[in-house]
Structures are given as structure tokens and as C-alpha cells.
Amino acid sequence: MKCTDIAAVAKLCHAKGAMLVIDNTFMSPCLQNPLLLGADVVMHSITKYIGGHSDVVAGALMFNDSKLYDKLFFNIKSMGYWISPFDAWIALKGSKTLKLRAERASENALAIAKMLEKHPKV
């Protein structure tokens, strides 16, 4: 897990005619929006941070290109995969606290980092 300059990587990819796909599971939409930084597709594991309660298995894809979206949406419909209404409700329920959970996790991580920075054994 490393911090990457998404905008710079997007420029490199697009200069070579490649798409940039970002897994934004750990940052979540609250902390980072790779589509605004030039990514073509962003994926989120709703199972993890967005759902927040380990009670749903789901994922989401976000697109900057409507043609790619239409092509993949057709494939998803054709294969018959879709989130159930109950799982969608569970994911929505968890998403309502996402911003608060992301903020608290960030604050706690910073507090721990500051404490460890001053610790003589670190």
C-alpha cells in the first residue's frame, strides 16, 4: 500500500492509449475521488469500508466514459449478476455512516502516528 500520484499516472496511461483503473476500496469515496484525478474506472469493495458492518458482499464500478459503462452494463445484465434489493439496502444503511467513520479513522491514525513519532523505541 503506497501513495500514488493518480493524476500523473493517468497522464502516462492516456499518453500510451491505456486506461487507468483504480481500486479505491481503502480510501473510499469520502477521502479520494480518482475519477476527478483522471482515472477511467474506479472500483470499490462495498463489503469493506462502504458497508462498514461486515454484513454485505457487494462491489461498485464508477466510470468516466459512458461508452465503456454501456458496454460493461450490457455484460452485467446479460450474465445475470445484480445486487439483491436487501443487500442494496444493507449497503445503503452502512454508507450513511461512512463519512463519520472515515473521519474518525483518519483522526485516530494521525494521533497514533504522532504518538509513535515521539516514542523513543520507534
Q: Which domains does the chain have, with CATH numbers?
A: 6-96 (3.40.640.10)
Contact between residue 62 and residue 40 where contact means Cβ atoms under 8 Å apart: no
Q: How many CA atoms lie within 13 A of 119 on its CB side?
A: 8
Is residue 38 pLDDT above 90, yes or no? yes
* Amino acid making up residue 106: S
Position 73 scores a pLDDT of 85
- Please write the tens of the pLDDT for every residue from 54-112: 899 998 899 999 999 988 888 878 887 778 899 999 999 999 999 999 999 999 999 99
pLDDT of 52: 86
